[in-house]
Amino acid sequence: MTVRTRFAPSPTGFLHIGGARTALFSWAYARRHGGTFLLRIEDTDVARSTPEAVQAILDGMQWLGLAHDEGPFYQMQRMARYGEVIQQMLTSGSAYHCYMSKDDLDTLRAEQEARKQKPRYDGRWRPEPGKTLPPAPAGVIPVVRFRNPTDGVVSWDDQVKGKIEFANAELDDFIIARGDGTPTYNFCVVVDDWDMAITHVIRGDDHVNNTPRQINLLRALGAPVPAYAHLSMILGDDGQKLSKRHGAVSVMQYDDDGYLPEAVLNYLARLGWSHGNEEVFTMEQFVAWFDLDHVTASAAQFNTEKLNWLNAHYLKLADDQRLAVEIHRRLKASGVDTGVSNIDAAGIAAINKDRVGNLNELSDIAHLFYVAPGISNELASMHLTEVAVAALRDLRTRLQDAVWTAPELSATVKQTLTATGLKMPQVAIPLRVALFGQTQSAAIDKVLAVLGREETLKRLDRVL
């Protein structure tokens, strides 16, 4: 049997971190078993679905590098098929028309809640042997309800949570088609998973309660029941649940915030899944190791600090040319023209990538190379003392004819040390202030090498 998994978001917003992990696990499971991963857009909520959201989801998936093998399928394009199945069910008696109005339904639910009961449809239009149904009210367009079994239990062996069992008595006859004929979620999912031959449904925890309904539907249709794996939810950094109002952000926000996709992926993989003590691994390793047995059943709290650590780790490993592209992109976005200078962004990346936590910090440093920052009075008076300026003057003369490589520049600075009798920090710090308006930078010889002779002398002359 070929494994077929799917990621089925509804296009009512961006791809957030929880959805991204669900997609990642579905993708990995298919890859792990040489199967097929498909993307399905569940857009039957016409009022809330937007093309922008579809694009946002596609963008997020692409940024993460989670490629689907089939799709994207759009449920709105499958209406004919849904109508056909509904008609079939109506004919076979596994579904029926219900003329109860929304108002009556609301009243019924309010009464049930007042009695502290579980709100549910009371089956008044459900056909039963020997039961006489009221005459269909004129002018009312009925909804279609599924005739759910009333006895027994429905259970499945959840691939992450173990055996889960529901009494059919707990389930009511849910609506599968609205008054306007459009099918509803549980129904579409079932028909799609069936038609698309999905073997493993990997989805969020919030669908556990839909599963017994979907299994009953599948059985009524005579369709095979796939394996289910329900992933527990991801809580915010503060332990609170993520919501639109609180903490739920688009995966693209992580791009904006300077995270590398491989860091986000590695973090997400490790959030709720483990492989012994492995913490840092490639996607190839993840795919080779991934299994549902080691997915945690309980909710996990998002930890930005650990993500930051992974991001810093992957930054160190990242190719300098790739980082150069990121630097240009980010600087350009903040209005800095990097074209006027011949400073090599890859060089900047090479000497700074192991000192920063994210791409934005790297870009901020790069900014200092492209545009000479001002020097605050405070720093000037503290570091550009008479002694320091004299040393810088000495250094300037030597720099004039120095061979412009880091080792040679290091030697040059040391000559100034010898000449002035100062210690390295006594020269290096004023030099940093003169060059960048701040006291910290990467190793000063490397910095000079990247900044270049012309720019270095120009900046030095400002303070001499």
Partner RNA sequence: GACCCUAUCGUCUAGAGGCCUAGGACAAUACCCUUUCACGGUAUGAACCCGGGUUCGAAUCCCGGUGGGGUCGCCA
- State the number of CA atoms in the 13 A half-sphere of 408 facing the CB: 11
- Does the footprint of RNA cover residue 26 (CB under 7 A)? no
Which among 33, 55, 84, 69 has a CA at the least distance from the CA of 195?
A: 84
- Tabulate helix, strand, coil % of the chain (nearest 5): 50, 15, 35
Q: Which helix (H) or strand (E) holds 411?
A: helix 406-420
Q: What is the CA radius of gyration of the chain?
A: 32
Region 200-229 residues binding RNA, contact defined as CB under 7 A = 205-210
Examine residue 284 and tell whether it contacts RNA (CB under 7 A).
no
Kindly list the distances between the CA atom of residue 303 and the CA atoms of 23, 234, 271, 310, in Å, as whole numbers in the listed order: 20, 10, 9, 11
Q: Which of 32, 45, 236, 394 binds RNA (CB under 7 A)?
A: 45
State how far the Cα of 186 lies from the Cα of 212, in Å rounded to an integer: 10
Region near RNA per CB under 7 A, out of 124-132, 299-307, 328-336, 337-345: 299-307
Positions in 312-331 near RNA (CB under 7 A) = 312-313, 316
Q: Provide, rounded to whole angstroms, the least separation between the CB of residue 279 and RNA.
A: 4
Q: Rounding to the nearest 10 degrees, give the CA dihedral for residues 7, 11, 17, 21.
A: 0
Can you tell me which of 425, 454, 462, 464 binds RNA, judged by CB under 7 A?
425
- What separation in angstroms does the CA of 227 have from each of 156, 201, 266, 329, 438? 8, 6, 26, 44, 59
Question: Interface residues for RNA in 334-363 (CB under 7 A)?
Answer: 354-356
C-beta of 217: minimal distance to RNA in Å?
Answer: 13
Stretch that binds RNA, among 220-228, 248-256, 305-313, 450-458 (CB under 7 A): 305-313
Using rule CB under 7 A, residue 148 touches RNA = no
Amino acid at 155: S
> Considering only CA atoms, which of 319, 313, 220, 235 is closest in space to residue 272?
235
Site for RNA in 260-279 (CB under 7 A): 270-272, 274, 276-277, 279
- Minimal distance, residue 215 CB to RNA, in Å: 13
Position among 168, 253, 341, 439 found at the interface with RNA (CB under 7 A)? 439
Task: Identify the CA nearest to 37 among candidates 65, 57, 67.
Answer: 67
Nearest distance in Å: CB 335, RNA = 26
Fill in the per-residue mask, 380 to 419: x = in contact with RNA (CB under 7 A), - = not in contact.
------------------------------x--x------
Applying the rule CB under 7 A, the residues between 64 and 93 that interact with RNA are none
Does residue 272 come out as left (phi exceeding 0), alpha (psi in the -120 to 50 range) or beta?
left
The single residue among 88, 127, 157, 178 that binds RNA, judged by CB under 7 A, is 178
Only one of the segments 161-169, 326-334, 338-346, 371-379 lies at the binding site for RNA (rule: CB under 7 A); that segment is 161-169
Q: Does 232 bind RNA (CB under 7 A)?
A: yes
Q: Please report the sign of the dihedral spanned by the C-alpha atoms of residue 434, residue 440, residue 441, residue 446.
A: positive
In the bound state with RNA, the residue whose beta carbon lies nearer, of 260 and 339, is 260
